[in-house]
């Protein structure tokens, strides 16, 4: 760490608190611009919640379970009574290997760009000075001209539930579950809850999914939401809509959830997956007269600057869209503002949604409901995966691609995909949607040539299907 010679001297041009995608985006951009940069990370390795508890381990877990489901459903193996089963603990060992590789890779970026990684927990002394509580108990102070808060978020954990109980988990601690339950209650049917419900059901565990609303993932196109509900129901997941918990009882070998409707539910364990909270409570924000809202989130302007002139915030801690991919870009944009006084870039308007249920869901652009409400004259083109040669070969025939386009201009307005590899497939259409008005035309998919057999061919099939409805 650079030596401080006076009270007014700075150790760094910029300090970033947090090493998730947002913090990494800021640090790399500033370092490449020649600034002296330090990052503070409270854990022993870099990567943040995305790498260690969120996106990477849960998606690695989901991938393994999805392959298991495919294997057991494939007639080539099922006919020979070779059905396999795997334990949650076994699959997590594989996921842990992926986490280590990702964290090691991310650490190499900081080394290569000469960004100093400081292990410890940071809190404000003043707007330029941070108190660093080191893992060995020692305390240090560092000063920077600019400071970026990229502290991320954590699962919301209401105080009336005992999350120290060995059978009650949140979406971080579930990864350390060391036993194989036969039954589980998943409370919260948002993205995380729906993903874990399908993962546990894929492992043969009985799942009760408690949803506080009247449909799953209501921000999705209604047909896609209905498709997810059907496939979870068809796989054996019990979905309980319009329910809220009254209390939770943790016992030696089971958990009981009492619902406000009077119902009682019992399972081997509980996964509480209902919302997240910004990690700001440990920062001593009062020392710089900066306030977070009730969810621990910070308000920023278009340059990601907070109400304090030298302090910026990016990633989950500023709320929407709370996506790893967007967070990295937010970090880059904030770095530009820090270097040049303002940022001339913004996140794209249509950010793709990727939901890693089994099967997968991905969408970008408008839903049918939004277009209908706006009175846009649109048409629908569909391709069923079961009709595609590649899906038949891979035995991944569940799902479809749905294209929404303007009847008159043929402009692509929305893409909605349900099925295996949906989060990859959606990007083909997204690339066309991002073009200017002349190039954004559904006829592109009819006039181009796709590799055969591929899942990408669904775009040609869906485009032809939709254009046949136009008269």
Q: Which residue has the tokens 């400081």?
A: 118
Cα gap 421→81, rounded to integer Å: 28
pLDDT tens string 61-101: 999 999 888 888 877 776 656 667 788 888 888 888 899 99
**What is the per-residue pLDDT for 288?**
97
Count CA within 13 A, CB hemisphere, residue 222.
6
Domains and CATH numbers, the chain: 12-154+277-340 (3.50.50.60), 168-274 (3.50.50.60), 359-467 (3.30.390.30)
**What is the per-residue pLDDT for 78?**
62
Number of other CB atoms surrounding residue 55 within 10 Å: 20
DSSP state of 357: S
Count CA within 13 A, CB hemisphere, residue 416.
22
405 has a pLDDT exceeding 90: yes
Query: Does an H or E element contain 383, and which?
Result: strand 378-384
Residue ranges of alpha helices (H) inside 298-387 are 324-340, 368-373
Q: What's the mean pLDDT in 366-386? A: 98
Percent pLDDT > 90 in the chain is 86
**What is the per-residue pLDDT for 92?**
87
pLDDT tens string 235-294: 999 999 999 999 999 999 999 999 999 999 999 999 999 999 999 999 999 999 999 999
Percent pLDDT > 70 in the chain is 97
328 has a pLDDT exceeding 70: yes
Q: Answer yes or no: are the C-beta atoms of 75 and 392 closer than 8 Å.
A: no
**What is the per-residue pLDDT for 1?**
45
Cα gap 205→60, rounded to integer Å: 18
**What is the per-residue pLDDT for 379?**
98
pLDDT tens string 152-203: 999 999 999 999 999 999 999 999 999 999 999 999 999 999 999 999 999 9
110 has a pLDDT exceeding 60: yes
9 has a pLDDT exceeding 90: no
**What is the per-residue pLDDT for 6?**
44
Q: Any residues with CB less than 8 A from the CB of 57 and at least 6 apart, and which?
A: 92, 95, 96, 98, 99, 175
User: What is this structure's pTM?
Assistant: 0.93
Higher pLDDT, 71 or 423: 423
**What is the per-residue pLDDT for 8?**
61
Q: Answer yes or no: are the C-beta atoms of 337 and 343 closer than 8 Å.
A: yes
Q: What's the mean pLDDT in 227-232? A: 96
Distance, C-alpha 98 to centroid of its chain:
17
Instruction: Give how far Cα 55 sits from Cα of 44, 126, 324, Å.
Output: 19, 34, 8
119 has a pLDDT exceeding 80: yes
**What is the per-residue pLDDT for 349?**
86
Retrieve residue 95's tokens.
């996921």
Cα gap 92→102, rounded to integer Å: 15
Q: Answer yes or no: are the C-beta atoms of 18 and 152 closer than 8 Å.
A: yes
pLDDT tens string 216-227: 999 999 999 999
Phi-psi category of residue 137: left, alpha or beta, with phi > 0 → left and psi -120 to 50 → alpha: left
**What is the per-residue pLDDT for 75?**
75
**What is the per-residue pLDDT for 82?**
64
Among 82-86, 236-240, 368-372, 375-379, name the one with the lowest average pLDDT.
Answer: 82-86
The pairing of strands 139-149 and 311-313 is: parallel
Q: Answer yes or no: are the C-beta atoms of 426 and 455 closer than 8 Å.
A: no
| Mean pLDDT, all residues of the chain | 94
Q: Any residues with CB less than 8 A from the CB of 266 and at least 6 apart, and which?
A: 183, 254, 255, 256, 257
């Amino acid at each position: 760490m650079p030596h401080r010679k006076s009270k007014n001297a700075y150790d760094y041009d910029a300090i970033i608190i947090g090493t998730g995608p947002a913090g990494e985006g800021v640090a790399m951009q500033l370092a490449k611009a020649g600034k002296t940069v330090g990052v503070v990370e409270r854990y022993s390795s870099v990567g943040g919640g995305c790498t260690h508890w969120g996106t990477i381990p849960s998606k690695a877990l989901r991938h393994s379970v999805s392959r298991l489901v495919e294997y057991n459903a494939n007639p080539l193996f099922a006919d020979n009574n070779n059905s396999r089963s795997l334990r949650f603990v076994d699959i997590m060992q594989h996921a842990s290997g992926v986490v280590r590789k990702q964290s090691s890779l991310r650490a190499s970026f900081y080394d290569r760009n000469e960004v100093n990684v400081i292990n410890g927990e940071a809190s404000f002394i003043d707007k330029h000075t941070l108190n660093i509580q080191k893992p060995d108990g020692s305390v240090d102070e560092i000063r920077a001209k600019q400071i970026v808060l990229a502290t991320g978020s954590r699962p919301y954990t209401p105080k009336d539930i005992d999350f120290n109980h060995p059978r009650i988990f949140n979406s971080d601690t579930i990864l350390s579950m060391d036993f194989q339950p036969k039954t589980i209650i998943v409370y919260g049917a948002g993205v995380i809850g729906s993903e874990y419900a399908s993962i546990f059901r894929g492992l043969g565990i009985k799942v009760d999914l408690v949803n506080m609303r009247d449909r799953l993932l209501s921000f999705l196109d209604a047909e896609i939401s209905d498709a997810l509900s059907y496939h979870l129901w068809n796989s054996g997941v019990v979905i309980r809509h319009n329910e809220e918990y009254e209390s939770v009882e943790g016992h030696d070998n089971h958990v009981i959830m009492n619902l406000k409707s009077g119902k009682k539910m019992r399972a081997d364990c509980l996964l509480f997956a209902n919302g997240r909270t910004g990690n700001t409570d440990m920062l001593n924000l009062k020392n710089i007269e900066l306030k977070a809202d009730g969810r621990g989130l910070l308000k920023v302007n278009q340059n990601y600057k907070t109400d304090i002139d030298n302090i910026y915030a990016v990633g989950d801690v500023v709320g929407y869209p709370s996506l790893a991919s967007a967070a990295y870009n937010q970090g880059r944009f904030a770095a530009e503002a820090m270097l040049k006084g303002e940022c001339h870039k913004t996140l794209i308007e249509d950010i793709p949604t990727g939901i890693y249920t089994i099967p997968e869901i991905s969408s970008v652009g408008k839903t049918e409901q939004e277009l209908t409400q706006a009175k846009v004259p649109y048409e629908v083109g569909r391709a069923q995966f079961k009709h595609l040669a590649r899906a038949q070969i891979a035995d991944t025939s569940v799902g479809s691609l749905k294209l929404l386009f303007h009847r008159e201009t043929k402009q692509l307005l929305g893409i909605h995909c349900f099925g295996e590899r949906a989060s990859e497939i959606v990007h083909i259409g997204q690339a066309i949607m991002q073009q200017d008005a002349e190039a954004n035309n559904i006829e592109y998919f009819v006039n181009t040539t796709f590799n055969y057999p591929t899942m990408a061919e669904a775009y040609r099939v869906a485009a032809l299907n939709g254009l046949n409805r136009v008269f």
